[in-house]
Chains A and B, each alone.
Chain A
Amino acid sequence: MVLRIPKIMKLFLSFLMTAALVLLSAFPGVSFAAGGLTLSTTYPGIMVKAGENVNFSLEIANNSGAGQNVALSVESIPDGWKGYFEGSGKLVGRAYVNPDKPANVDFNVQVPADAAEGNYQIALKADAGSGIADVLNLELEVGAVEFVQGKFTSQYPELQGPGSAAFKYSVDLVNNSGEDQSYSLSAKAPDGWQVTFSPSYDAKQIASLSVKPGESQGLNVDIVPAQNVTAGKYTVTCSAVSATETLTTDLTVLITGTYNMELSTPTGLLSLDAHAGRETPVTLTIQNKGSAELKNVTLSSSAPANWAVRFAQPTIDTIAAGASQEVIAYVKPGTSAIAGDYAISISASTNETKSQADFRVAVKTPTIWGVVGIVIILALAYGLVRVFRKYGRR
């Protein structure tokens, strides 16, 4: 539609068009002829892969000055390819375009999996009738089918918490290949750890799953550390293995140390017998029940005045997590302590935690006085016998 117009005519035409525009603005409603509709997209030429679905965002601009009911159609498309218009999630065939506001329509193209390499053309047409129409040519270049690895990633691959916590990771598994993939899931974790996989928004534990080409599946990975885990950094390698690919992702668990210890005796008995002014040994056990090493465990005691509590080892340098340490304490009741029960408490403390054991000390009278009493009785009996011997039998 190329017109050869002399220069003078061009000038005249431009004058006419200017006059028409002035008229148009003066009298709206007067329809204007061709060129009133523009069908466009930002990237009309793209590279695709065989088997891929591509999407073009189309924009239909209406310059005709009046609203247009536009029919959308595919003028030409290579054999075996499929293309359809989509607007607001629906398949559409027509679009209404306001004069001042362009309409947006998506055009989806399904590239056949067996499409050969090369350039392909697709022509789309927007036709409002009465000559107002536009055609958009799309150019798709099908590239070599290269094998693209799927993706197995997590947005937050490193979580932190105490050893008692369960760690929940969100992992995305993306199938980038051209066909369905069935992935079997597994994890390599330290001994005693439990790793389970479940789909997002579903509590089922799964061992394998199938992902369609180009799709992504959200997964939850729950990691429960071993009961006796100590503080530190642990890596759990999760893998999704399909027939063609092996995807792995490393999830890192940072176990923060928990500090917990318990002071008791090997038998759990928290009472002891002691004599006033005499040391009595009692074996204590300090058990590290936390997940971090305890450092500088200091033993101290609270006892009545004039009592003495001494420890064979007043400070223990380290107790490993889960380990326990025995210490002998020597309890010496005051010399003026009376028979009966007294309460003392022994505590072990570190900078982080503390444990206390309350003991009941039964102070006993030394039996030596009982023996002395018996000796006195024997002496009396002997004296009586002597009296009998000396004065009796007259």
Chain B
Amino acid sequence: MKAAADFIRQGTQWLHTASRFQGSRGDARGNTGLMVLYHKELEDQFSSKRFLIVLGLIFVTGLASVYSAASGIHAAVSKQGTDFVFLKLFTSSGASLPSFLTFIAFSGPIVGLALGFDAINGERSRGTLSRLMAQPIYRDAVINGKYLAGLTVIAIMVFSIGLIVGGLGIILIGVPPTAEELARILLFLVFTVVYMALWLAVSMLFSILFRHAATSALSVIAVWLFFVIFMQLVAGIVANALFPVSDSANYAAMIHNVNTQQALSRLSPSVLYSEAVGTILDPSARTLSSFLLTDQIQGAVAGALPFGQSVLLVWPHLIGLLALTVLCFAISYISFMRQEVRAG
């Protein structure tokens, strides 16, 4: 009898917990709003001309660079051997065009920026934001839905172009990728998604901070130009100012200079991304440092790093990019949630 009573008591306790759990899932109603917004946003994106233009830009440049790399792959193979020949499609540059990697590092941000620079202020200026707010949905569903939709578009775009480029590569060079090459390419695509997602978060932040789409567009382009082009120049200038390298400089000063320059330029997401995917797609890259000490070279045997070791090498980069993305999104989230939304 006692056992039965215990059983019943436990059963009721479990029911209580379950109902409490369901109570906390009351938020699920908000998620329906999120899903509606997400789907609507996806529809808008895919049917917009902007998306088509961006997609076309990425596809054309990507395919052109891979085609150019494939035509020059014989030279690359004869120089560096046939190991990981498939990855060379992505990293080697052809006669006239830069490599696929360089293209993505340069134009990848444009995708993120184009998808997000008017996400909020566009709605605001069209007057649809206040109408949206009038719907029985949570306010954060708007920003979450927009961001998730943008992320989905980016992921679809990146993976489809990755697959197309890979397929084109198989046709052009006739060598299927090995499992490790496939893993490296997948990680490269994941990195690219994260990289573009960061720029999407940045552009969405700007679309919240600035009332006019033109302002936010110009600002994000300025930010993009600064980080993609000028950051390395600035890093060089600062490093030279802090640790001047003259003809009579000793090794310590030179090392400090180089280290400072590298550390500063790593503040730029595009440098982080380039370093990371360069390492992922080049298994023979053993270090990210721009110089090696003699005791690091001594006894070193040239060879490919295992996949796991390459990942560990660029793991901080992935974390850094993710952290920046989350940070940007969190700031946009907070500022959006605290903004006044007025009708008209």
A304 vs B301: C-alpha distance in the bound complex, in angstroms?
A: 11
Q: Knowing A380-B322, A391-B337, A393-B27 touch, does A336 contact B295 (C-beta < 8 A)?
A: yes
Q: Taking the nearest CB of chain B, how far is it from the CB of A121, in angstroms? A: 99
- Contact segment of A133-141, A312-320, A370-378: A370-378
Chain A residue, CB-CB nearest to B333: A387
A394 within 8 A of B: yes
Q: Taking the nearest CB of chain A, how far is it from the CB of B135, in angstroms? A: 14
Q: Is the CB of A338 within 8 A of B303?
A: no
A394 vs B139: C-alpha distance in the bound complex, in angstroms?
A: 6
A342 vs B296: C-alpha distance in the bound complex, in angstroms?
A: 9
A36 vs B27: C-alpha distance in the bound complex, in angstroms?
A: 156
For window 317-332 of B, CB contacts with A under 8 Å fall at 318-319, 322-323, 326-327, 329-330
Residues of B within 8 Å of A43, CB to CB, are none
For window 293-322 of B, CB contacts with A under 8 Å fall at 293-296, 298-303, 305-306, 309, 311-313, 315-316, 318-319, 322
Chain A residue, CB-CB nearest to B330: A387
A304 vs B330: C-alpha distance in the bound complex, in angstroms?
A: 48
For window 82-129 of A, CB contacts with B under 8 Å fall at none
Q: Taking the nearest CB of chain A, how far is it from the CB of B132, in angstroms? A: 14
B98 within 8 A of A: no
Q: Taking the nearest CB of chain A, how far is it from the CB of B140, in angstroms? A: 4
A334 vs B140: C-alpha distance in the bound complex, in angstroms?
A: 52
Q: Is the CB of B303 within 8 A of A340?
A: yes
User: What is the interface size of chain B, counting residues whose CB is below 8 A from a CB of the partner?
Assistant: 39
Q: Is the CB of A392 within 8 A of B293?
A: no
Main secondary structure of the interface of B (DSSP, over half): helix
A25 within 8 A of B: no
Residue of A367, A376, A377, A391 most packed against chain B (CB within 10 A): A391
Q: Is the CB of A338 within 8 A of B301?
A: no
Q: Is the CB of B27 within 8 A of A339?
A: no
Q: Is the CB of B296 within 8 A of A337?
A: yes
Residues of B within 8 Å of A279, CB to CB, are none
Residues of B within 8 Å of A367, CB to CB, are 312
Residues of B within 8 Å of A380, CB to CB, are 322-323, 326-327
- Choose from A305, A365, A393 the contact partner of B138 (Cβ within 8 Å): A393
Q: Taking the nearest CB of chain B, how far is it from the CB of A317, in angstroms? A: 31
Q: Taking the nearest CB of chain B, how far is it from the CB of A93, in angstroms? A: 94
A338 vs B290: C-alpha distance in the bound complex, in angstroms?
A: 12
B287 within 8 A of A: yes
Chain B residue, CB-CB nearest to A345: B299
Q: Is the CB of A376 within 8 A of B319?
A: yes
Q: Is the CB of B295 within 8 A of A304?
A: yes
- Choose from A337, A373, A384 the contact partner of B316 (Cβ within 8 Å): A373
Q: Is the CB of B299 within 8 A of A377?
A: no
B30 within 8 A of A: yes
Q: Is the CB of B337 within 8 A of A342?
A: no
Q: Is the CB of A360 within 8 A of B312?
A: no
Residues of B within 8 Å of A360, CB to CB, are 301
A192 within 8 A of B: no
Q: Taking the nearest CB of chain B, how far is it from the CB of A183, in angstroms? A: 67
Q: Is the CB of B338 within 8 A of A391?
A: yes
B292 within 8 A of A: yes
Residues of B within 8 Å of A384, CB to CB, are 326, 329-330
B39 within 8 A of A: no
Main secondary structure of the interface of A (DSSP, over half): mixed
Q: Is the CB of A303 within 8 A of B299?
A: yes
Q: Knowing A339-B309, A340-B300 touch, does A377 contact B330 (C-beta < 8 A)?
A: no
A201 within 8 A of B: no
A383 within 8 A of B: yes
A343 within 8 A of B: yes
Per-position 1/0 for A317-332, Cβ under 8 A of B: 0000000000000000
A341 within 8 A of B: yes
Q: Is the CB of B315 within 8 A of A370?
A: yes
Residue of A339, A364, A377 most packed against chain B (CB within 10 A): A339
Q: Knowing A338-B286, A370-B312, A383-B326 touch, does A304 contact B319 (C-beta < 8 A)?
A: no
A388 within 8 A of B: yes
Q: Is the CB of A391 within 8 A of B326?
A: no
Q: Is the CB of B334 within 8 A of A387?
A: yes
Residue of A303, A380, A381 most packed against chain B (CB within 10 A): A380
- Choose from A307, A341, A344, A377 the contact partner of B303 (Cβ within 8 Å): A341
- Choose from A304, A338, A369, A394 the contact partner of B287 (Cβ within 8 Å): A338
Q: Knowing A340-B300, A360-B301, A383-B326 touch, does A305 contact B316 (C-beta < 8 A)?
A: no
- Choose from B289, B302, B313, B330 the contact partner of A365 (Cβ within 8 Å): B313
A306 within 8 A of B: yes
A305 vs B299: C-alpha distance in the bound complex, in angstroms?
A: 9
Residues of B within 8 Å of A394, CB to CB, are 138-140, 337
- Choose from A304, A307, A362, A388 the contact partner of B333 (Cβ within 8 Å): A388
Q: Knowing A360-B301, A393-B140 touch, does A306 contact B295 (C-beta < 8 A)?
A: yes
A376 vs B327: C-alpha distance in the bound complex, in angstroms?
A: 12
Q: Is the CB of B296 within 8 A of A392?
A: no
A365 vs B287: C-alpha distance in the bound complex, in angstroms?
A: 11
Chain A residue, CB-CB nearest to B138: A393
Q: Is the CB of B326 within 8 A of A334?
A: no
Chain B residue, CB-CB nearest to A393: B138
Q: Knowing A373-B318, A392-B337, A393-B30 touch, does A340 contact B305 (C-beta < 8 A)?
A: yes
Q: Is the CB of A340 within 8 A of B138?
A: no
Residue of A307, A339, A340 most packed against chain B (CB within 10 A): A340
Q: Is the CB of B139 within 8 A of A339?
A: no
Q: Is the CB of A341 within 8 A of B301?
A: yes
A307 vs B294: C-alpha distance in the bound complex, in angstroms?
A: 13
Chain A residue, CB-CB nearest to B140: A392
A370 vs B333: C-alpha distance in the bound complex, in angstroms?
A: 29
Q: Taking the nearest CB of chain B, how far is it from the CB of A118, in angstroms? A: 97
Q: Is the CB of A342 within 8 A of B313?
A: no
Q: Is the CB of A342 within 8 A of B300?
A: yes
Residues of A within 8 Å of B295, CB to CB, are 304-306, 334, 336
A-B contacts, 7 listed (Cβ < 8 Å) = A339-B286, A340-B303, A388-B140, A392-B138, A392-B337, A393-B140, A394-B337
Given contacts A306-B295, A342-B300, 13 further A-B contacts (CB under 8 A): A336-B293, A338-B286, A340-B301, A343-B301, A364-B312, A367-B312, A370-B311, A370-B312, A376-B319, A377-B323, A391-B338, A393-B30, A393-B140
By Cβ-Cβ distance, the 10 closest A-B pairs, closest first, are A304-B299, A340-B286, A304-B298, A391-B337, A365-B312, A341-B301, A305-B295, A338-B287, A373-B319, A392-B140
